[in-house]
Structure 1
Amino acid sequence: MSLITITDLRKHYISGDETVEALRGVDLAIEAGEFVTIMGQSGSGKSTLLSVLGGMNHPTAGTVEMAGVKLYELPGERLADFRAENLGFVFQSFHLIQYLTALENVMLPLAITGMKKADKVEAAREALERVGLAGKADRLPNQLSGGEQERVAIARAIVKKPPILLADEPTGNLDTKTSEEVMTLFRRLNDEGQTVVMVTHNPDNSTYADRTIHLRDGLIIDESAAAVTTRSAA
C-alpha cells in the first residue's frame, strides 16, 4: 500500500460570483521513500495540492489517505496532532524567528512535547548536524546566509523525524549555486529514507527527484520518472 494515496481530489474556491476550481479530480499515489516534485505554471493548483496534502486545507471533495489514515475524517485536534507527528514543512520564506539562535529555532517544534530540555537540545543539534550546520548553532538568522537559513528551516522540519517532508518552493529565494546545495541536501535526506514531496517552478530541481508530477488547470497532465543526474553528488 502506498504511503500517500489521493483519490478524486477537488478543491473549489468562491471568488465573488465565480467558483474557481483549483483542483479538478486529482488521483495520485506516493510510495514511502520517494522523492516527488510537483510542477506547473502559476495557478495550476500545485501549492493548493501541497496544502491539502499537508492537512492544512480541507478539500471540497475526495480523500487524502496517509499511512492508512484518512486525514480529513479526523476531528480538528487529532488532525493537528497527526500533522505534527508525521509531517515536516519547508517553505520559500524561511519563517525563522530573528531573535532566536539557529538551535532555538530548530527546537521550536519540540516545545509542546514532553521531552526534557536536554533531550530537545540534543535532537536540535543532531538535526543541525544532518544539514551541515553543527558549527553554527548559536548564530542568529541575520548572521547566516540565505542558504544557511534555509538549512535551519529544513533542520526544524526534520527535528521530530517525521516520515514525510513537504516543501513549497524551497529554493525560490536562493541563487543558483545555493539552490543546488539545498537540493543536494534534500536528495541526501531522501537517500537516508525521508519521503519528500516538493512543489517547484524550477525544472532543474526535478532532476534531483525520482518522479515529477505536472499539473495544469487543476489536473495532472503528466507523470514522468526523473533522470536523476545528481544522485551521486548527494
Structure 2
Amino acid sequence: MAESLTSTQSKVLAFVEQSTAQNGHPPTMKEVSRHFGWSSTSTAQQHLGALQKKGRLDRIPKSPRSLRVTKPLRPTRVDQTVAVPLVGRIAAGVPIYALEEAEEVLPLPRALFHGSSLFALRVKGDSMMNAGIFDGDIAVLRAGPEFSDGDIAAVIVDEEATLKRVFKTKRGLRLQAENPDFADRVVSSDQIKQSFRLAGVLVGTIRRFT
C-alpha cells in the first residue's frame, strides 16, 4: 500500500502538478519555496525528498527543473500525455553546434503530439518565421531520418544543427529557409554520406509567453 502524505506534502505535490500543467515545465526548488513562503530552499528540499521516497516524485540529475510527478494526487489516464525530452537549442538562421543533453522533460498532450520517439529543441533565430516558427519557440520533432519532400526538419551538418525545410534534388538535399533574407543551402551527396544527419521531422511548436 502506498504511504500516505502529510497535509503539506499533498499541497507541495499539488503545486508541482499544477505548475507543470500550466507552464509546460516543472517548478524549480526556489519557485516551490517562494510559492509557500519558505525563506530557505531546505524546507522545500525536505518535503520534496519525502515525496520522492514515497514514490510520488522523481528527479532528473543536474537539471534545475528536475521534478517529475510519477504518481499524481488525482490519477489520470496514462495515455493523455507524452514525456518529451527538451534537449537543447537548434538554429533557425545561422547553424549552431548540436546540443543533445536533456535539459528537462516536457509533459505534452498526446492528442496534439503523436508518436513515441519525440524530442524537443529550443529555436534560435528567425529564418523560419514565415512558417510561424519564431526565436524562443520550442520545436517538437519525431526522431529519425525518414522525411517527405518539403518537411521541416532538424538537420545536422558538420556537427552544426539547424531547422529548415528539406527537399531532395539531383545534387543532394536542399535546405530551405522560410525567410527571404536567408539563402538556400545545398548538401551534396558526398557530404550527406560523411557529415549529415537528419535528427527529426517537426510535428509541432510550443510558444511560451512571459
Coarse TM-score class (shorter-chain normalised): under 0.3
TM-score (norm 2): 0.24
TM-score if structure 1 supplies the norm length?
0.22
Work out which structure has the larger RCO, using CA pairs closer than 8 Å and 6 or more positions apart in sequence. 1
Greater strand percent: which structure? Answer: 2
Q: Whose helix proportion is higher, 1 or 2?
A: 1
